[in-house]
Amino acid sequence: MIGYLLRRAFYSVLVLLGVNLATFFLFFTVNTPDDMARLNLGGKRVTQQAIEKWKVERGYDKPLYFNAGAEGADKLTDTIFWDRSVSLFALRFGRADGESAGDIGHEVAQRMWVSLQMALPLFVLQVLASTAFALLLVMFRNSRLDFWGVVACVLMLSISSLFYIIVGQFLFSRVLRLAPISGYAPGLDAIKFLALPILLSLISRVGGEARLYRAMFLEETAKDYVRTARAKGLSEQVVLWRHVLRNALIPIITSAGGYLPYVFLGSLVFESFFGLPGLGAYVIEAIGKQDFAIVRTMVFIGSLLYIATYVLIDVAYTWADPRVRLEG
């Protein structure tokens, strides 16, 4: 196990380095620091003096990769690449490009908790609801309940998230007045603002997940160990919950684990429509303002979370199935 984790850590560093280099190269090839200054200062009619001042304030006045005028290690460290790319590995994100955007690290730390408040309950409810619904359909397979349940799943996964948001806001906020249409408040008051987006996001996702889990469970029910369990007189409920579910955990962990990075990164669509100040809305705002410093940071954080998630998924496999061994 330790050897495997060390090897994956080494691979992870290489992947992060490659993503970081590619992102930095693309951003600074398409847009020079002067172009970034013009975009943030208001277009083409900007004086060179204002551009130089903007670059100095944000450290974009340095050479990109190599500072020939510096001495010693400063030739490499006193560069834009070191300040805006290498520093990300130390989780030092620097200042945003926007005039009033502030420190990126502070914003990420504050907004991450808002995203967690919405996405963590959603993640747990989604796994529980999808698994329970899929097991119910399998228990009553080839019945009307199974048929109409599959039809409901197909309908739910075929409808855009925007439809759920618009209809949900109109019905629950405008007509029934059960929840605020948008906004956020800290503390326990956050519950009334988060309940509606969590509910709508759950409905939009449960159809696709439940249909996938149903297919997994049906495949397991056709195997020999299930027929043996039934032959021994075990009830269908016991067979499904104790045997089928346990043996289908690996694909469920794989499917559910792919959503884990969004627990921290937030939902771009739902946070924007409901006015939640999370990381998803932060990315949308940065793209709208063409704040490349924030976008680069979020690409790095997203890559880091995806790598960590899939390492955790591999470790979870050993818990779900004792036959799985992670070799060093």
Q: Tell me which residue of 80, 83, 55 sits closest to 65, measured CA to CA.
A: 80
Residue 294 and residue 302: Cα distance in Å, rounded? 12
**Which helix (H) or strand (E) element contains residue 129?**
helix 104-139
Residues 6+ apart with CB under 8 A from 251: 216
Domains of the chain, CATH where assigned: 2-90 (no CATH), 106-320 (1.10.3720.10)
Residues 6+ apart with CB under 8 A from 246: 320
Residue 252 and residue 135: Cα distance in Å, rounded? 13
Burial class from Cβ neighbours inside 10 Å (0-12, 13-18, 19+) for residue 35 reads middle
**260: its two tokens:** 């884990």
**246-284 burial code (b ≥16 CB/10 A, e <16):** ebbbbbbbebbbebbbbbbbbbbbbbbbbebbbbbbbbe
| Amino acid 303: pLDDT | 87
The SS3 of residue 322 is coil
| Amino acid 150: pLDDT | 94
| Amino acid 3: pLDDT | 77
Let me know: does 182 contact 118? Beta carbons within 8 Å: no
Q: Tell me which residue of 41, 7, 25 sits closest to 311, measured CA to CA.
A: 7
Residue 202 and residue 157: Cα distance in Å, rounded? 11
> What number of other Cβ atoms are within 10 A of residue 223's Cβ?
12
Instruction: Provide the whole-model pTM.
Output: 0.81
Secondary structure of 171-186 as H, E, C letters: HHHHHCCCCCCCCCCC
Region at 180 (left for phi over 0; alpha for psi -120 to 50; beta for the rest): beta
pLDDT tens string 199-220: 999 998 899 999 999 998 998 8
Burial class from Cβ neighbours inside 10 Å (0-12, 13-18, 19+) for residue 61 reads middle
Residue spans of the chain under pLDDT 50: none
| Amino acid 132: pLDDT | 92
Q: Tell me which residue of 70, 15, 88 sits closest to 298, measured CA to CA.
A: 88
Residue 49 and residue 291: Cα distance in Å, rounded? 21
pLDDT tens string 226-236: 888 888 888 88
| Amino acid 294: pLDDT | 87
Burial class from Cβ neighbours inside 10 Å (0-12, 13-18, 19+) for residue 109 reads exposed
- Sign of the C-alpha dihedral computed for residues 148, 151, 157 and 163 taken in this order: negative
Q: Tell me which residue of 283, 125, 273 sits closest to 198, measured CA to CA.
A: 125
